[in-house]
Structure 1
């Protein structure tokens, strides 16, 4: 069965119309293997029940699709002959598509078979029905422009898999075609730029007369070049396509300069501003300009580049009314970018500018990092320290509502605010006092709960360890073969170090047990006491003291017990004792470093005063006169 076509366009039309009709469920195994191996003999010597174009796999791959796909481990020159011979036998295979609408050219471009691509192009050009050169060129271009179901051309495939030689061949045959986007919005230029295939980018820009540059999400190839901070690609795209591309924004309104500001791409920023400085004034959907983005990201160098070119762009505000200084104080490392604005007197109008909520940059700075700020706006002479927002709050009052500060820090700021503002002080002082009292009570309860859990666990561990140490006895016990009078007693009972071990172990056991008992009675005592928080804190402090002393006694018990057992090896005994003594040094160091936080001085002072009162209240003996 043979088909004859008047020209190449009829062949294409035939393939498109009959791709659903010419279907088979499978291909003969011998023919499939012959196609995979590039063996043309099987096809020349075989009498087919169906034409070659009807020999299809379940996915409608022809013998030409199979042969090109399997080419990886074979010599291309051999395959070139197979492709030519099979196309001579059945020219319609040249543009016949599979279930994905992929032609053999798509497959060859995907796998980078440049020689096969050249053969396919030559076959399209040299088709017998193409009588003149013009028809041959048109036939090649029609084949190159065929798209798959996802709208990919052969050039899309070649670029995606970084095949430079194939790309050169395809562009050379059709330099005028713009290559529109596929289903996901990609053009060949965008794919090459996004994947940073520099040679492919150069090839497309140099040889395509007007390459399409669109990408997904409304982005362009210039956006992709900015992401890589590829100065060379950025420069070539700008020169080839022109200034219009610098103002192309994506779906979120981000121009390439917005991206450069976000990623701190100084090389690209210099090129963009040099090509068209007006892009510095463009806003995204949130109303943010590139200088807003740079300020918020604390990209000082890039922000300076934009300001040097377009100093008045700092006056622009976003949809919330924020200017560049509002964004600067919100940055992760604000001091550098805040300082950049504060040091320039021409930006003084930004210092007291209010957003839609009436907040100045000072309000934002104090609500975020008041205690860490080095470039503090409060220290600037042109800043209005008494500025109030729409809630009638100045910077100090805004700080008091921040979750980033402790109650103690808020108290300091509150006391300072009494001197700086009288407008809302009288109205808000009672409420703040009540809120502060509730906050302190809540924090106190949380602290006491955590402390109680920790104390109980530590005390129980010390009790367990000291009890076990007393039962096991260092040195062991007198056995049945010894003096019956001392049978079962400790072998080291007359050793001085052993005696100290027993005493200190007993002290540690008693103290830790007392701490456990204190926690045991704690709930009962708190319930029946009107000042439950104070009682609970006092009992926890008592248990805290018991545990500290128990730890010291336990360490002494270990040192003396080890010395008693190792007395015959004096060097080892002394070394063990010295190492054990380091525990006291560590505890002393911690207590010294964090004396104020731990409240040790206050604890000792309270207990000392209480002891003095107890001594004074002791009954004195009556002396007769």
Structure 2
């Protein structure tokens, strides 16, 4: 695949070198479709080579809509092409403010829902919503401040378009987040109950006079106590985080950072609680399976 990619790039370079002798109208007729297709597919190498050979190609516009290659890249969520803007000089400000025939800026186009084939690259509705918000915030920081509240010919701001276009995705993301939290709450509750019961039931019992556990000086008991305490703390933390996800009133902005962070920490602490709950058992299993074993050569001294 890598060799095919490199061969394709060399072929493009060769074709463009042979096009240098053509007049402007002739060359535009050839590279125009290639530029538009490359920007919609995220093939930035083709765009770079074409622009290096024909600098005027950077101003390619689709006649029907007045879309340039960056409009197309943002609409199709092609970050490779969009990132070329950051490698440009002051001229990038021109592309940050240009609008199509419907009065849409880059931010208006980004506010529309991504194409299905791009949206489905990310699994789960909540993470798809997060990705869409990441794109919207990125373009919002790129365009001039006044463009953030600019209305298109239909009288809609970018934020209004984003809310309308992502209404169903937000509902699906909220539903998935709550279902995920529900299923993990059960696991966290069971783990918390088990490790709490283990904490108050001291192995070996306690001394009648002092109340100190009889095995308190033994290494195995210390390992048990520490791992049980960590498991209890992490399972309780996980439980509280998942409960907060159930009661949280999800807004669009929350999908960008707040909800994913809570879900990530909740899953991490749940994993840790399971690990420390099984810690002594895990050590025994690994030791017996991958340890030196019971049998085998123990000494080089001849026996018989």
C-alpha change, 1:283 and 1:272, in structure 2 (3 Å) is: closer
SS at 1:560 equivalent: coil
Q: Are 1:574 and 2:244 counterparts?
A: no
| SS at structure 1 position matched to 2:99 | coil
Instruction: Tell me, in whole angstroms, the C-alpha distance in 1 between the residues paired with 2:168 and 2:203.
Output: 49
Distance 2:186 2:137 in 1: 43
Instruction: Mark the runs of 5 or more structure 1 residues left unpaired by the alignment.
Output: 1-225, 231-259, 408-438, 463-546, 601-625
Distance 1:320 1:387 in 2: 22
Please point out which of 365, 376, 387 is paired with 2:139.
376
Query: CA separation of 1:568/1:274 partners in 2, compared to 1, >3 Å: closer, same or farther?
Result: closer
Query: For 1:546-600, what per-residue CA distance to the aligned partner results, in whole angstroms no more than 9, with x for missing partners?
Result: x95x35522414x6136679949933333333332331353477589x5995699
Contact 2:188 2:239 in 1 (8 A): no
Whether contact under 8 Å (1:562, 1:573) holds in the other structure is no
Aligned counterparts of 1:563 and 1:275: Cα–Cα separation in 2: 89
Residue 202 (structure 2) pairs with residue 560 (structure 1): yes
Equivalence for 2:16? 273
1-structure distance, mates of 2:93, 2:219: 74
Q: Do structure 1's residue 584 and structure 2's residue 227 form an aligned pair?
A: no
Residues 23-59 of structure 1, C-alpha deviation per residue, up to 9 Å, x if partnerless? xxxxxxxxxxxxxxxxxxxxxxxxxxxxxxxxxxxxx
Matches within 5 A, 1:124-523: 227=4, 229-230=6-7, 260=8, 265=9, 267-277=10-20, 281-282=28-29, 289-318=33-62, 321=65, 322-329=67-74, 330-334=76-80, 335-340=82-87, 343-345=89-91, 348=94, 351-354=97-100, 358-367=103-112, 369-372=132-135, 376=139, 379-381=142-144, 384-403=147-166, 455=185, 462=190
Within 5 Å, give how 1:1-20 maps onto structure 2.
none
- For residue 451 of structure 1, report the CA deviation from its aligned partner: 5.3
Q: Give the CA deviation at 1:406.
A: 7.7
Q: Is the 8 A contact 1:555 1:583 kept in 2?
A: no
Alpha-carbon offset, residue 352 of structure 1: 1.9
After superposition, the Cα gap between the structure-2 partners of 1:270 and 1:358, relative to the gap in structure 1 and judged at 3 Å, is: same
Partner of 2:263: none
**Inter-partner Cα distance in structure 2 for 1:554 and 1:338:** 60
Once residues 449 and 382 of structure 1 are traced to their aligned partners in structure 2, the CA distance between those partners, rounded to angstroms, is 38
Q: Give the 3-state SS of the residue equivalent to 1:282 in structure 2.
A: helix
User: Greater Rg, structure 1 or structure 2?
Assistant: 1
Contact 1:269 1:302 survives alignment (8 Å)? yes
The structure showing larger relative contact order (alpha-carbon pairs under 8 Å, at least 6 residues apart) is: 2
- Post-superposition Cα deviations, 1:44-89, rounded to whole Å, max 9, x if no partner, equal xxxxxxxxxxxxxxxxxxxxxxxxxxxxxxxxxxxxxxxxxxxxxx
8 A contact 1:363–1:394 mirrored in 2? yes
Count of aligned pairs: 214
Q: Secondary structure at the match of 1:303?
A: helix
Report the counterpart of residue 100 of structure 1 in structure 2: none
Q: CA RMSD in A?
A: 4.8
> What is the match of residue 532 of structure 1?
none
5+ long unaligned stretches in structure 2: 115-131, 207-212, 248-304
